[in-house]
Amino acid sequence: MNIYLTIIILGLLIFLSHIFNELFDKTKIPNVLLLLLIGIIIGPVSGVVTTDFFGKLGNVFTTITLIVILFESGSGLNFREIKKAIGSAAVLTLLNFIVTVFVTSYISRWLLPVDVMSSVFIGAIVGGTSSAVVIPMVKQLKMGEKSTSVLILESALSDVLCLVVGLALLDGIAQGVVSVGMVLSKMWKAFVFAITLGLLSGFVWSAVIGKIRSVKNSMFTTLAFVFILYGIVELLGLNGGIAVLSFGILLGNIEGFVKSRKFRKVFSFESSGFNPNEQNFFAEIVFIMQTYFFVYVGISVQFGSPVIYATGFLIVLLIILFRVPGIMYLTGNGIARPEKAIMSVMTPKGLVPAVLASLPLQRGFAHGEIILDLGYSIVLFSIIICSMLVVLLSIRPNVFGNIVKIPKKANSGNQLND
């Protein structure tokens, strides 16, 4: 593609993303879906742009997007709401993962020529929700604090779960045996040590950020530090995403800690969080990155066998169907019925399954091509179906109330009910 035409398209995408955001208020169609469709049209449908055009830069770009989104979303979470939501998020993450693994492995084994280990691997890599997709949609929907916290924490926790279990199963396929103890050990280390490193880094940065601001052109230095933190944690064999999210949460709530007497007894240094200019800057960066990310995802979609894509479509429908009761009964009080309905369909897949689905083929495993095509089909349909159901639920918020009796004890005082 001509370089000048590419630059023009990059500029137009930003304008279109702004227009799509404005259209959301009237149509309730998330800009995620529209940007994804643009990517599909200019990518696999027309062939104007292919993934080869990006080379290795594509993987770097998607990783940076994930880092920035996790960091910015973490900085916007309220610590009190996190304490309320962490229990629901953890249980929901585990339940959703187990159900997804069972449904996906059973359906793929039934309809496709894959062995047991390959089918379980597929279920494991699509067993979570995508932070890069969930977070922009949640913010666009302007959901309540608790429901927002649950969905963001679920997406972050499930990313780790899918990565650890998926990679462990991949090693098991290569060796012919899977060790449950090894999987649990990796999960424990990935969560605890990543959170610890993220929080410690947050304390360190809160002590120096005031001095950094006096340096000219220093607005981007916090993001630079976040990139370094992510890279170091990943090199240590832990999960950088969890570390970055923890880092953002701490800095977003540090001023509340500073006012605490207990904090003052332990720490004597001056700490500072983000000022409004920095928060606006991070929000702008996220807006730009997510605009290009969803177009890139559309370009990266690979259309394989119709049978495989039909299987992926069926799997996504069943995942959502089985998710509904879990959301309705496990999220507790304080979340209104319309928001519980939105949370029930908020199970889009993204970066993690797209990356992991390509590994078996790269390593020359049997059924690698089927795993790749099925993984991409589930990513594609999960985003499309999720977006369409969000539109439907914005118009008819009690659709799922007719299927599953929703607990009546829920606080309806939030923006979706206004």
DSSP string, 357-405: HHHHHHTT-TTHHHHHHHHHHHHHHHHHHHHHHHHHHHH-TTTGGGTS-
- Express each pLDDT in 306-345 by its tens digit: 999 999 999 999 999 999 888 888 776 778 888 888 898 9
User: 131: closest CA among 74, 183, 85, 187?
Assistant: 74
Q: How far apart are the first and last CA of the chain?
A: 47
Please report the pLDDT score of residue 109 as a whole number.
92
Which of 18-27, 340-349, 394-403 has the least mean pLDDT?
394-403
Euclidean distance between CA atoms 29 and 234, whole angstroms: 36
Record the tokens describing residue 336, joined without a space.
């209104």
Fold of the CATH domain 60-417: Na+/H+ antiporter like fold (1.20.1530)
Q: How distant is the alpha carbon of residue 131 from its chain centre?
A: 1
Please report the pLDDT score of residue 254 as a whole number.
80
Please report the pLDDT score of residue 189 as a whole number.
74
Kindly state the average pLDDT of the residues 61-83.
82
Euclidean distance between CA atoms 41 and 28, whole angstroms: 22
pLDDT bin (cut points 50, 70, 90) of residue 301 is confident
Identify which has the larger pLDDT, 323 or 261: 323
Please report the pLDDT score of residue 410 as a whole number.
44
Q: Is 235 left (phi over 0), alpha (psi -120 to 50) or beta?
A: alpha
Residue 328 CA: distances (Å) to CA of 11, 69, 105, 235, 412: 42, 27, 25, 39, 14
Query: In this model, does residue 103 exceed pLDDT 90?
Result: yes
Q: What are phi and psi of 217, to 5 degrees?
A: 55, 45
Please report the pLDDT score of residue 267 as a whole number.
57
Which of 27-41, 353-367, 372-386 has the least mean pLDDT?
353-367
Record the tokens describing residue 237, joined without a space.
């064999």
Q: Which residues of 362-394 are buried (b: 16+ CB within 10 A; e: fewer)?
A: eeebebbebbbbbbbbbbbbbbbbbbebbeebb
Question: What's the count of helices (H) and strands (E) in the chain, helices before strands?
Answer: 16, 0
Whether the Cβ atoms of residue 63 and residue 234 lie closer than 8 Å to each other? no
Domain ranges of the chain: 60-417
Residues 6+ apart with CB under 8 A from 219: 277, 278, 281
Euclidean distance between CA atoms 171 and 178, whole angstroms: 8
- Express each pLDDT in 151-201 by its tens digit: 988 988 887 788 778 877 877 777 666 666 766 777 777 778 888 999 999
State the pTM of this model.
0.75
Query: In this model, does residue 261 exceed pLDDT 70?
Result: no
Please report the pLDDT score of residue 181 as a whole number.
72
Kindly state the average pLDDT of the residues 104-109.
94
Query: In this model, does residue 26 exceed pLDDT 90?
Result: no
Whether the Cβ atoms of residue 412 and residue 336 lie closer than 8 Å to each other? yes
Average pLDDT, the chain: 81
Please report the pLDDT score of residue 73 as a whole number.
80
Residue 214 CA: distances (Å) to CA of 71, 209, 210, 270, 367: 23, 9, 7, 15, 56
pLDDT bin (cut points 50, 70, 90) of residue 56 is low
Q: How distant is the alpha carbon of residue 224 from its chain centre?
A: 21
Please report the pLDDT score of residue 405 as a whole number.
52
Other CB atoms within 10 Å distance of the CB of residue 271: 20
Query: In this model, does residue 377 exceed pLDDT 80?
Result: yes
Please report the pLDDT score of residue 413 as a whole number.
41
Kindly state the average pLDDT of the residues 106-112.
93
Which of 144-153, 243-252, 297-306 has the least mean pLDDT?
297-306
Query: In this model, does residue 101 exceed pLDDT 90?
Result: yes
Please report the pLDDT score of residue 411 as a whole number.
44
Please report the pLDDT score of residue 231 as a whole number.
93
Please report the pLDDT score of residue 25 as a whole number.
72
pLDDT bin (cut points 50, 70, 90) of residue 271 is low
Please report the pLDDT score of residue 265 as a whole number.
57
